[in-house]
Structure 1
Amino acid sequence: MELNNVKETGVLIVGAGPCGLALACDLARRGVPALLVEQAPALFPGSRGKGIQPRTREVLDDLGVGDAVREHGGPAPVGMAWQSGERMGEHRMFRVAAPTDAEPYGEPWLMPQWRTQEILLARLRELGGDVVFDTALTGLAQDPDGVTAQLSTGPVRASYLVAADGGRSTVRRALGIAMTGETVDPAPMLVADVRIAGDALDRLNWHMMNTDAGFITLCPLPGTADFQLAAQFKEGEPDTSAEGVRALVAARTHLEAADVTEVRWSSDFRPRAALADRFREGRVFLAGDAAHVHSPAGGQGLNTSVQDTYNLGWKLGRVLNHGAAPALLDTYEQERRPVAAEVLGLSTRIHRGEQERGAAAQQLGIGYRGGPLSSGRAGVLEAGDRAPDGPSGDRRLFDVYRGPHFTLLAVGTDAELPESAAAEGLRVHRVDAYEAYGEGLFLVRPDGYLGWAGEDVSGLAGYLAPLGLDLKRG
């Protein structure tokens, strides 16, 4: 709606990358009015963040795009080392584990970033939202009741603003929030999406060549005819023109320049790791690259970004639509900044060859034990842990959890439970004893982590009240 020519909304999201799009989808399914603006005229066109870790696949499944991700992506190809035009042998780039009941996704999934964004935008439109392109933020001001943002298309008044506008965040700079970090590698990098003629290079392997000038890799992108090219430059600066990319391929591989039939997108960067000094300033939140910048080596950046907004979205929904205490929003930084710091360290160590891409990179072990929203333990789990998947009759537990609600799960216990409609936004579900949980009661947050756990419901009402969930109203 408009008031004195100022548009009003619940949440203004600046930046329509995977981070902003995921948040917009989450808010839309919660019925939270949101406006998503993007300075560019269209979605980002490149493959840059191509690796989707198992935990992020679970998030995307909850947001309603799991089938599309499965259809348009694929497992990472086995690496193939080359030297002087000869194949030297295969090696796996990522840890691969067989899916289990508790962890249904056992390996990273490759899909170009532009495709991830297209899938999320299609989902957002299904939910009644959209992106307003060609719209830049030029200024903002806060007061105790909201944020007034000056956009290139006119002013907007929002209860909250979320900066999802990347590593060079206009919002972060306007707020004066510094980023502390380091250069991970002084050598610049070039990344490009290219097409290779005919059978000049197979699509069964992730091809890697080390040269005196720096490495070059060519990774086939599932669901497309493209390869993602990544190259290091120990000397000089990358030439991102089509001619420069072709010359690079000819100089460092057994391919000819003419084998590169198309250069669809290219960019250069210096690997860097940096963390914003804080993730919140009043009614403005930083998420994704606006809050933390990673080396791409560990495949962590896009994943951590999407999970930022998965943590923030339900909290904004509870405060704006369900009367939760505004202090709930303080827990976003309290929970996510330590995670971002840990993941930054992991990405840097992987880039420098100090650690392999093991289980930690899959992000299934990330949790919030000891955090401000974590209370109690039961069975084999502690509040703050990721809630495992598992069988539940003809469904999965993830099917039970899917959606914007909380779930009170009773596992292998006949403990008395509140009525299933005891509080708006809370569902109650029983299953038989299951080793991934042990026995007890487990409150699963909307983002798939355990908020509370216990042997009976003592203390549950007190935990839920600040979240806008009142068992007494049942």
Structure 2
Amino acid sequence: MTDEDAIDVLICGAGAAGLTLAIDLARRGISFRLIEKMDDPFRGSRGKGLQPRTLEVFEDLGIVDRIAASGSLYPHQREYHGDGSVKDVALFEVGEPIPAEPYGTPLLVPQFLTEAAMRERLAELGHSPEFGCTLIAFEQDRQGVTARIAKDGEEQIVRALYLVGTDGGRSFVRHALSINFPGKTLGVRAIVADVTLAGLSSDVWHRFNEGSMETQISFCPLAETGLFQMQGPIPLEGEIDLSAEGLSALTVERTGRTDINIRSVSWASAFNMNARLADSYRVGRVFLAGDAAHIHPPTGGQGLNTSVQDAYNLGWKLAAVLSGAPEGLLDTYEEERRPIAAGMLGLATRLLDEAKRGEIRRGREVHQLDIGYGGSSLSLDDPLRQARILAGDRAPDALLKGAAGQATRLFELFKGPHWTLLGFEAAVISIQPRKGLHIHRIGQGGDLMDSENRFRETYDIASGEWILVRPDGYIGAIVSQPEVAALETYLRSVGLQAGATVTH
């Protein structure tokens, strides 16, 4: 096999991170294979909370509505106390959508339904995961990666320019790279199971003995499925009966109620909660993303969301380098994403400590809308700004009107694999058009109008300034008209050269 026969990217692991990366590469025309050692898709609900920022990612990928249709808002939680009293409380502070943040509240969608929608989208783009396909060895050189995979009892040799391990907390790729995975076991072991049951209504999340790590148990209805997700801490040692009979007995023991009957179990797991972060996200031409790079306790619903956004950050950078951008662009993946994971691990661990005390209400901190890359080498403010919105921040949505009179949203302009350059009340720019860059002027003489000052107020922007939005919806640069030449340098650094031919 020669390098001419190589695919661009081999993705190992077809969970949420691997599927996100595959969708992003597919829409960019990048060749890849997505392999998964399991024989069938994951069928559990484990990562069921989708945060507002992830919903924005899914809008860009073209799947937010089908995912929302298979889920629901989080139900209120009904707390059952030892004295027989009952109290209904909201888990999340409900935020109404606003023009800058179109998704105000997390959605509850079982992981198996989220991933099913992602596979549907991938199929629309002409690709599918290869189940029952195991990575058994790989080695890399300066030109690419040679991998051995086992499928249908036979070995194959695959040559790829890059390998991405999205293969979970026990990542084979991470182990093969000898990357340390420091952190700690958090001293909590729990069960999670998807069950059908009788005796509880499906309009609230039922929680018994909240705050007790010995007797706590909860049942969360999973909309559109007829299932409940059953959760509860268990002893650190010993076998746990995860059959319907065993879970029914545990339910009676912890609730004191004999009318709650577990009828069937579609999926169940007993696990130890960990908080771990890989020392490195990259060795040469091999990358880690998702749970292979970081594992979280489930509190706060951060794990799957952080994993999706890892892949969303990496996808456009791989595509850019494969199309001629400097190789150093790939270094910004770890630079930007590893600190985010560290912060999310701290948040999830703090929320776990609160849950142990029976404190369960969640606020804006879990939405991931305020995450940004302000310190990144890809963030440029020229001149330096004193404003609410800076380079590296998430690019907010805003309502505008086209010059032809039709209303539009910024997110509609951002949607797709391109960069977007927005000039506010700016002169005609000297930046030349090029593939992968969409240029819009807002204001008099431009193709977009801000008659209600929504864009100006949301972006805290002055006349003559230009905002460059990355393919992943973060602001790459904000420059004034006199400094517009800095944009040309920036664009070349990410592979967007005027008149350049695509080398991929």
TM-score, normalising length: structure 2: 0.89
Q: Tell me: CA distance 1:212–1:455, structure 2 relative to 1, closer, same or farther (3 Å).
A: closer
The one-letter code sitting in structure 1 at the alignment partner of 2:433 is: A
The one-letter code sitting in structure 1 at the alignment partner of 2:395 is: A
Q: Tell me: CA distance 1:402–1:213, structure 2 relative to 1, closer, same or farther (3 Å).
A: same
**Residue aligning to 2:447:** none
Tell me, yes or no, if structure 1 residue 340 matches structure 2 residue 365: no
Tell me, yes or no, if structure 1 residue 160 matches structure 2 residue 166: no
Tell me, yes or no, if structure 1 residue 443 matches structure 2 residue 468: yes
Q: Distance in 2 between matches of 1:187 and 1:347?
A: 13
The one-letter code sitting in structure 1 at the alignment partner of 2:486 is: G
**Residue aligning to 1:386:** 394
Could you say what secondary structure the match of 2:354 adopts? coil
For the aligned residue pairs, the C-alpha RMSD in angstroms reads 2.0
The one-letter code sitting in structure 1 at the alignment partner of 2:388 is: V
Question: Does the 8 Å CA contact 1:6/1:156 hold for their aligned counterparts?
Answer: no
Q: Distance in 2 between matches of 1:353 and 1:336?
A: 26
Correspondence for 1:53 among 42, 51, 54: 51
Q: Distance in 2 between matches of 1:257 and 1:92?
A: 25
Deviation at 1:85?
8.9
> Per-residue displacement from partner, 1:37-75 (whole Å, max 9, x unpaired)?
000111101000000000000001101101101211111
Correspondence for 1:368 among 368, 373, 384: 373
Q: Distance in 1 between matches of 2:90 and 2:243?
A: 31
**Residue aligning to 2:429:** 417
Aligned residue runs from structure 1 range 301-340, under 5 A: 301-320=303-322, 322-340=323-341
**Residue aligning to 2:419:** 406
**Residue aligning to 1:9:** 7
Q: Tell me: CA distance 1:263–1:383, structure 2 relative to 1, closer, same or farther (3 Å).
A: same
Question: Does the 8 Å CA contact 1:311/1:332 hold for their aligned counterparts?
Answer: yes
Q: Tell me: CA distance 1:462–1:240, structure 2 relative to 1, closer, same or farther (3 Å).
A: same
Tell me, yes or no, if structure 1 residue 287 matches structure 2 residue 277: no
Correspondence for 2:171 among 153, 169, 172: 169
Correspondence for 1:396 among 403, 409, 433: 409
Aligned residue runs from structure 1 range 265-276, under 5 A: 265-276=267-278
Deviation at 1:84?
4.7
Aligned residue runs from structure 1 range 47-446, under 5 A: 47-84=45-82, 86-153=84-151, 154-184=156-186, 186-197=187-198, 200-210=199-209, 213-234=214-235, 236-237=237-238, 238-256=240-258, 259-320=261-322, 322-353=323-354, 357-376=362-381, 380-393=388-401, 394-411=407-424, 413-418=425-430, 422-431=433-442, 432=450, 433=453, 434=455, 435-439=457-461, 440-446=465-471
Deviation at 1:472?
6.1
Deviation at 1:258?
6.8
**Bigger Cα displacement from structure 2, 262-271 vs 346-355:** 346-355
Question: Does the 8 Å CA contact 2:24/2:61 hold for their aligned counterparts?
Answer: yes
Q: Which runs of 5+ in 1 are unaligned?
A: none
Q: Distance in 2 between matches of 1:86 and 1:18?
A: 41
Q: Distance in 2 between matches of 1:124 and 1:407?
A: 24
Q: Distance in 2 between matches of 1:365 and 1:105?
A: 13
The one-letter code sitting in structure 2 at the alignment partner of 1:130 is: S
Could you say what secondary structure the match of 1:271 adopts? strand
Tell me, yes or no, if structure 1 residue 465 matches structure 2 residue 492: yes
Q: Distance in 1 between matches of 2:430 and 2:413?
A: 17
Deviation at 1:201?
0.9
Question: Does the 8 Å CA contact 1:418/1:471 hold for their aligned counterparts?
Answer: no
> Per-residue displacement from partner, 1:414-433 (whole Å, max 9, x unpaired)?
233257x7111000123324
Deviation at 1:162?
0.4
Deviation at 1:254?
5.0
Q: Which runs of 5+ in 2 are unaligned?
A: 402-406, 443-449
Q: Distance in 1 between matches of 2:430 and 2:362?
A: 44
Q: Distance in 1 between matches of 2:75 and 2:54?
A: 19
Q: Tell me: CA distance 1:390–1:47, structure 2 relative to 1, closer, same or farther (3 Å).
A: same
The one-letter code sitting in structure 2 at the alignment partner of 1:15 is: G
Deviation at 1:259?
2.2
**Residue aligning to 2:446:** none
**Bigger Cα displacement from structure 2, 94-103 vs 362-371:** 94-103
Deviation at 1:473?
6.0
Q: Distance in 2 between matches of 1:126 and 1:85?
A: 54
> Per-residue displacement from partner, 1:379-403 (whole Å, max 9, x unpaired)?
5311100000011222211111000
Question: Does the 8 Å CA contact 1:140/1:150 hold for their aligned counterparts?
Answer: yes
Correspondence for 2:18 among 20, 24, 48: 20
The one-letter code sitting in structure 1 at the alignment partner of 2:324 is: G
Question: Does the 8 Å CA contact 2:372/2:393 hold for their aligned counterparts?
Answer: yes
Deviation at 1:86?
3.9
Could you say what secondary structure the match of 2:333 adopts? helix
Question: Does the 8 Å CA contact 2:3/2:159 hold for their aligned counterparts?
Answer: no
The one-letter code sitting in structure 2 at the alignment partner of 1:445 is: R
Q: Distance in 1 between matches of 2:135 and 2:380?
A: 40
TM-score, normalising length: structure 1: 0.94
The one-letter code sitting in structure 2 at the alignment partner of 1:409 is: L
Q: Distance in 1 between matches of 2:430 and 2:435?
A: 12
Could you say what secondary structure the match of 1:339 adopts? helix
Could you say what secondary structure the match of 1:348 adopts? helix
Q: Distance in 2 between matches of 1:149 and 1:39?
A: 14
> Per-residue displacement from partner, 1:297-350 (whole Å, max 9, x unpaired)?
110000000000000000001011x21001000000000000000110000000
Could you say what secondary structure the match of 2:6 adopts? strand
Could you say what secondary structure the match of 1:256 adopts? coil
Q: Distance in 1 between matches of 2:4 and 2:171?
A: 24
Deviation at 1:370?
1.6
Q: Tell me: CA distance 1:472–1:31, structure 2 relative to 1, closer, same or farther (3 Å).
A: closer
Q: Distance in 2 between matches of 1:284 and 1:257?
A: 53
Deviation at 1:92?
1.6
Could you say what secondary structure the match of 1:459 adopts? helix
Deviation at 1:257?
7.4
**Bigger Cα displacement from structure 2, 259-268 vs 112-121:** 259-268
